[in-house]
């Protein structure tokens, strides 16, 4: 079978890599892809929102399954319904189901309606009642732009001045456009975070291995937030009872109730959970594979990824039982100097083969080929993953591999999975 992956990041290279290893896959295309996806298949010069062109491509080329990586074509372009209307097999949720990621107020109201969250929150379209509410609640609190604001619409406010400024930026200055015309003000929850993802066909859920990512740019969780600087799986801080609660109470109920309400969730449902002193709470839902979670979770999948994704797309996930390795996976993201602020592009990358020879999997994110060289083309450039029998072994392998990788300004955190290594050695 031929497969098309839509997207161009580390998540998409990981999916392309895993699918290229399936005995049933004859060719993997990625649109638009990066220099890494071109190593395991072909790149197609189409953007993720060119839905009609993507559809024409799969029809012309006889692609059997299309896998949607990023959230934007799911939320904004209804790519899944449009593929299904053309009788094309596709992995991902409809736009109606993707509201779980695309609208924070939809999700908070859904969770509250079904008793799946204890946190307080309220939704506002105009600044004056929002200001009254934050004064009444006091800080700290979290204010979220309701819609998809490229991951920049969430603010943890520790002073009232910050809260009032954020309300102003969203509702008065309209800094986030339509995505910020409505805001959610909610309780600020504290505790370790983890990512619990499931495959679902709208009825059955199959858990993936849990993961924990690192959002801040600097060691010891300092500096500004990023798209993710590294990740590990499994998560020692997540005990089996808590994981079971998140899967069976929160995620399973969500899938059941979304189907009952006419918007079945299909594809990946990603729960960003926080382990508070009062028990686990949901921070957010995403309606697609996490990035960089995919770079540690999918390498731990021993079964054929195609079988799972195909079963999901065909509504027969109950027939599949994926196997996961117990080995520990660690991924360190290599970023461009300056990221998440301004950064340069076009710097040649050397040492990619040497890093793999040192035992790592090198997943490309912001890379492209130019004049026979792989060069930087984004903020997050590579995700370097290693598997080991312990976190100590995985960390050793991944950081040794990183010693081989060079480009001007290359930056990575040095403490990824250190806390998991310490927890494991106690």
Residue 101 in the binding site for ligand GLY (CB under 6 A): no
- The minimum distance between CB 334 and ligand GLY, in angstroms, equals 16
Residue 228 in the binding site for ligand GLY (CB under 6 A): yes
The DSSP bridge partners found for residue 164 are none
Return the number of other C-beta atoms located less than 10 Å from residue 425's C-beta: 9
- The minimum distance between CB 14 and ligand GLY, in angstroms, equals 12
How many residues touch ligand GLY under the rule CB under 6 A: the total is 6
Residue 286 in the binding site for ligand GLY (CB under 6 A): yes
Secondary structure (3-state) at 117:
coil
Six token digits for residue 380: 């997050």
Nearer to ligand GLY, 146 or 291 (CB): 291
Residue 293 in the binding site for ligand GLY (CB under 6 A): yes
Residue written as tokens 């204010």? Answer: 143
Per residue in 158-190, is it b (16+ CB within 10 Å) or e — as a string? eeeebbbebbebbbeeebbeebbebbbbbbebe
Residue 8 in the binding site for ligand GLY (CB under 6 A): no
Q: Candidates 83-91, 155-163, 289-297, 367-375: pick the segment binding ligand GLY (CB under 6 A).
A: 289-297
Nearer to ligand GLY, 148 or 293 (CB): 293
Nearer to ligand GLY, 156 or 160 (CB): 156
Nearer to ligand GLY, 358 or 398 (CB): 398
Residue 304 in the binding site for ligand GLY (CB under 6 A): no
CB 215 within 8 A of CB 284: no
Per the rule left: phi > 0, alpha: psi between -120 and 50, beta: everything else, 78 is left
Beta strand 267-276 pairing with 367-370: unpaired
Identify which of 413, 243, 272, 406 has the alpha carbon closest to the alpha carbon of residue 330. Answer: 413
- The minimum distance between CB 256 and ligand GLY, in angstroms, equals 24
- CA torsion angle for 222, 223, 226, 229 (degrees, to 10)? -40
Residue 148 in the binding site for ligand GLY (CB under 6 A): no
Per the rule left: phi > 0, alpha: psi between -120 and 50, beta: everything else, 385 is beta
Query: What is the spatial order of strands in the sheet that 380-388 belongs to?
Result: 212-218, 222-233, 328-335, 380-388, 361-364
- The minimum distance between CB 111 and ligand GLY, in angstroms, equals 18
Report how far residue 49's alpha carbon sits from residue 63's, in angstroms, rounded to the nearest whole number. Answer: 18
- The minimum distance between CB 309 and ligand GLY, in angstroms, equals 18
Q: Candidates 36-44, 246-254, 285-293, 334-342: pick the segment binding ligand GLY (CB under 6 A).
A: 285-293
Q: Candidates 47-55, 120-128, 287-295, 396-404: pick the segment binding ligand GLY (CB under 6 A).
A: 287-295
- The minimum distance between CB 228 and ligand GLY, in angstroms, equals 4
**365-424: which residues touch ligand GLY (CB under 6 A)?**
none
Q: Candidates 138-146, 178-186, 283-291, 329-337: pick the segment binding ligand GLY (CB under 6 A).
A: 283-291
**206-225: which residues touch ligand GLY (CB under 6 A)?**
213
Nearer to ligand GLY, 201 or 291 (CB): 291
CA-to-CA separations, 159 to 121, 173, 239, in angstroms, rounded:
18, 20, 34
- The minimum distance between CB 408 and ligand GLY, in angstroms, equals 26
Using the rule CB under 6 A, which residue among 291, 376, 385, 416 binds ligand GLY? Answer: 291
Nearer to ligand GLY, 7 or 64 (CB): 7
Using the rule CB under 6 A, which residue among 41, 290, 366, 379 binds ligand GLY? Answer: 290
Six token digits for residue 33: 């892809």
Return the number of other C-beta atoms located less than 10 Å from residue 191's C-beta: 16
Report how far residue 335's alpha carbon sits from residue 380's, in angstroms, rounded to the nearest whole number. Answer: 4
Contacting residues toward ligand GLY, per CB under 6 A:
213, 228, 286, 290-291, 293
């Amino acid at each position: 079978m031929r497969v098309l992956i839509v997207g161009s990041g580390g998540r998409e290279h990981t999916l392309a890599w895993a699918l290229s290893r399936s005995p049933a896959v004859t060719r993997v295309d990625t649109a638009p892809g990066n220099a890494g996806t071109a190593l395991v298949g072909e790149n197609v010069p189409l953007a993720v929102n060119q839905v009609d062109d993507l559809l024409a491509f799969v029809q012309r080329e006889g692609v059997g399954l299309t896998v949607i990586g990023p959230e934007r074509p799911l939320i904004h372009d209804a790519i899944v319904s449009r593929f299904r209307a053309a009788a094309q097999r596709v992995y991902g949720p409809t736009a109606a189901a993707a509201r779980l990621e695309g609208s924070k107020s939809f999700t908070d109201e859904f969770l509250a309606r079904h008793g799946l969250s204890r946190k307080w929150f309220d939704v506002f379209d105009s600044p004056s009642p929002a200001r009254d509410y934050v004064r009444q609640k006091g800080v700290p609190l979290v204010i979220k732009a309701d819609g998809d604001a490229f991951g920049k619409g969430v603010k943890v406010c520790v002073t009232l001045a910050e809260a009032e400024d954020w309300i102003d930026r969203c509702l008065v200055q309209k800094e986030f456009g339509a995505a910020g015309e409505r805001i959610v003000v909610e309780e600020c929850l504290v505790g370790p975070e983890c990512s619990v993802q499931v495959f679902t066909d709208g009825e059955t859920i199959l858990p993936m291995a849990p993961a924990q990512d690192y959002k801040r740019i600097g060691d010891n969780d300092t500096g500004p937030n990023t798209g993710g600087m590294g990740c590990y799986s499994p998560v020692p801080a997540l005990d089996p009872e808590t994981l079971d609660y998140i899967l069976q109470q929160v995620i399973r109920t969500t899938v059941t109730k979304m189907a009952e309400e006419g918007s079945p969730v299909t594809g990946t449902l990603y729960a960003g959970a926080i382990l508070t002193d009062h028990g686990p709470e949901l921070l957010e839902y995403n309606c697609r594979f996490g990035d960089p979670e995919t770079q540690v979770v999918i390498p731990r999948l021993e079964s054929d990824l195609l079988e799972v994704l195909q079963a999901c797309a065909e509504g027969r996930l109950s027939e599949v039982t994926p196997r996961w390795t117990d080995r520990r996976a660690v991924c360190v993201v290599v970023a461009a100097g300056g990221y998440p602020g301004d950064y340069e592009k076009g710097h040649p990358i050397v040492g990619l083969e040497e890093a793999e020879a040192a035992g790592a999997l090198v997943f490309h994110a912001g890379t492209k080929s130019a004049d026979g060289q792989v060069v930087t083309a984004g903020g997050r450039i590579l995700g370097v993953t290693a598997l080991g029998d312990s976190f100590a072994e995985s960390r050793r392998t991944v950081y040794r591999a990183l010693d081989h990788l060079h480009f001007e300004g290359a930056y990575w955190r040095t403490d990824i999975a250190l806390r998991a290594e310490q927890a494991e050695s106690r």
